[in-house]
Amino acid sequence: MISGDTPEDNKAFAEKEHADFTMLSNPDKKVAIAYGVIAADAPPDRQYAKRWTFYIGPDGKIIFIDKQVHPATSGEDVVAKLKELNIPERR
């Protein structure tokens, strides 16, 4: 997960939500812009990130981008997509 929030805010979020995954803090938004989630020409007060999910393979290459993320079902959607992509379940 990449967030435009500070590391401290991300840590508080992860603790509150019991997140068991790595979060990248990106307050300068350079990574989000590089991935196209924020338009490079957007003025600073209009730099809102799109809710996209990037599936990255073990070789570091993007294997799928979900641009139709629905927050209410995103957990289930990720699990289904990982199965579809034949990504082994982690235990």
Q: What's the pLDDT at 58?
A: 85
* β 24-25/2-3 pair status: parallel
Q: How far is CA 29 from the centre of its chain?
A: 13
Name the stretches of the chain with pLDDT < 70.
none
Q: Which tokens sit at 88?
A: 């082994």
Residues 6+ apart with CB under 8 A from 24: 1, 2, 3, 31
> What token pair was written down for 34?
């590089």
* Residue carrying structure tokens 């938004």: 29
pLDDT, averaged across the chain: 92
Given this model, what pLDDT does residue 36 score?
A: 93
Query: Rounded CA gap, 4 and 48, in Å?
Result: 9
- Which pLDDT score, from 0 to 100, does residue 34 have? 94
